[in-house]
Amino acid sequence: MVELWQEQADVIEEVRQAIRNGYRSILIVAPTGSGKTVIGASIIHSAEQKQKQSIFLAHRRELIYQTADKLNRFGVEHGIIMAGEMTDHWKGVQIASIDTLRARYMNEKRKYQLPLPAVSVVMVDEAHRSLSNTYTKLLDHYKAEGAISIGLTATPIRGDGKGLARHYDFMVLAPSMEELIDNGRLVPPRYFVPTIPDLTGVKIARGDYVEGDLEKVMDHREAVGDIITNWVRIAPERKTIVFASGVRHSIHIAEEFTKAGYRAAHIDGTTPLRERDEALAALARGDIQVISNCMVLTEGFDCPSLDCCILARPTRNLGLYIQMGGRVLRTFPGKEDSIIIDHSGNLYEHGYLEDDHNWQLTDGLACDDRLDRQEDFDEKHPITCKECGHVYEGQLCCPHCGHVPERRGEYVEMRHADLIEVRREKRAKAKEQANKLLPPTHEEKQRWYSMFCAYAASKGHRMGSVSYKYKSKFGVWPKNMSRVPVTPTKECLAYITHLNIKHAYRTKNRPWPKRS
């Protein structure tokens, strides 16, 4: 049996109260990582105990199996309606693939069309898809039959920004991402913005960038090289997911990670199911460190040990941005935070992942308040460190690398009393960490100089290379430093690897080889 979080139990009680008040179509909005499937399974379990039949609708195989696992943990017997699975029509709870339902039960060309399962409760996963033709036909059918419809989503808007009032008349809001972070249910994200792409001329269709145009902008050797070098500098020890702008872009990213000596794999919508499952299993085991994908792992993918997300896919779709970044916010033993490395400009387009949103069911109107979000984000005066790309606010010194930006006029108000990382005013631990990251002392500089000396000696390099690495790290040439070698730390070795890769891409800025 599953023990619910208090936050999940409160959401379920709100749903019950809404039903008692006469609502029949309810939308549950809960952040990525908050346990939406557990909430849905618990509601179905309660319905089963009252002899009510239910159907759980999902659009991906992974979501079907995740739901089956949760229902098993609640002790609920169920059937699965999906290609390749044995169908148990007699069971009172069914988990159904929307594609299989359409093919078997809603295909007018079939000579013998099966009747849809008769149910009292319809559960829709990833309910922001509810306005599609197939979902609309299904929900209208079950509404006419008197069933209660319950949708689950983290982002109650479509890609074009429209709300979901066509199918839902009441919204239950779970605790926000910010609250779940404060309660320890999710880990806090840290943001780095090394580069922002120039998207001038990229066409927009259905509210988002056209993938073909986007890939032309994002998929070139220098940009992919930036992804690798900045990851090596910022998060070389972390298990990472990359969201690319296209299939070829994703392939190139995985190839360059591999060339740099890291275990990486690529998957996309055309990857054979067995090969994709093997890659994701290898990621979960730790056999590979980086998984690059194109629009495959945005939904229905759960790997709590992931603690770094590289956004190499610009989007105007707020929901997609939250879905991508939310992949790395789940808790895991030993995991204290997650890192978002944004090469897409999404942070400045949409704001922080944990920002609160004025979700509404607005029918026929865009509830995607992009301009308001941009104004709110600008008012916070976030600073992007020009040395390491870390995004922070409320202090002068960068909490990641210690760089102090030049103060210019009234650009932003700095408060030395609030030395915190990214906006975590409530976190004493973050204050302690930030207070330790003041501009580097002479002792700290000496330590790095000594490690650079030891590395140069082990490789047979000249002392000039030591001075170059020192200047790259601290922005000045070494002065009054002792040549006392000290064994390099992992952090130091990662930084040297970053410099080596960065140099390689600067000297080999050539186009991608053509593929046959």
- Do 189-355 and 6-175 have the same topology in CATH? yes
Question: pLDDT class for 71, splitting at 50, 70, 90?
Answer: very high
User: What integer is the mean pLDDT of 412-432?
Assistant: 34
CB 157 within 8 A of CB 163: yes
- 307 compared with 424, residue with greater pLDDT: 307
Query: Which CATH number describes the domain made up of 189-355?
Result: 3.40.50.300
The residue-averaged pLDDT of 392-398 equals 59
Which architecture, in CATH terms, is 6-175? Answer: 3-Layer(aba) Sandwich (3.40)
The pair of structure tokens assigned to 134 is 């197939």
pLDDT at 427: 40
Q: Is the pLDDT of residue 384 over 70?
A: no
Average pLDDT over residues 204-226: 90
DSSP state of 64: H
Is the whole model's pTM more than 0.85, yes or no? Answer: no
Count other C-beta atoms under 10 Å from residue 425's C-beta: 11
Encoded tokens for 454:
């030891």
Is residue 214 within 8 Å of 314, Cβ to Cβ? yes
Give the residue extent of every domain in the chain.
Answer: 6-175, 189-355, 397-438, 442-494
Q: What is the reported pLDDT for 196? A: 84
pLDDT, greater one: 391 or 370: 391
Give me the mean pLDDT over the 480-486 stretch. Answer: 88
Q: What angle, 0 to 180 degrees and rounded to 10, lies between the N-to-C axes of helices 247-259 and 211-218?
A: 30
- How crowded is the C-beta side of 331, counted as CA atoms within 13 Å? 11
Over residues 230-287, the pLDDT tens digits come to: 999 999 999 999 999 999 999 999 999 999 999 999 999 999 989 999 999 999 999 9
Confidence of residue 64 (pLDDT cuts 50, 70, 90): very high
Q: Does the pLDDT of residue 126 top 90, yes or no?
A: yes
Residue 206 burial (CB count, 10 A): 10
Give the number of other Cβ atoms within 10 Å of residue 350's Cβ.
Answer: 24
- pLDDT per position as a tens digit, 17-57: 999 999 999 999 999 999 999 999 999 999 999 999 999 99
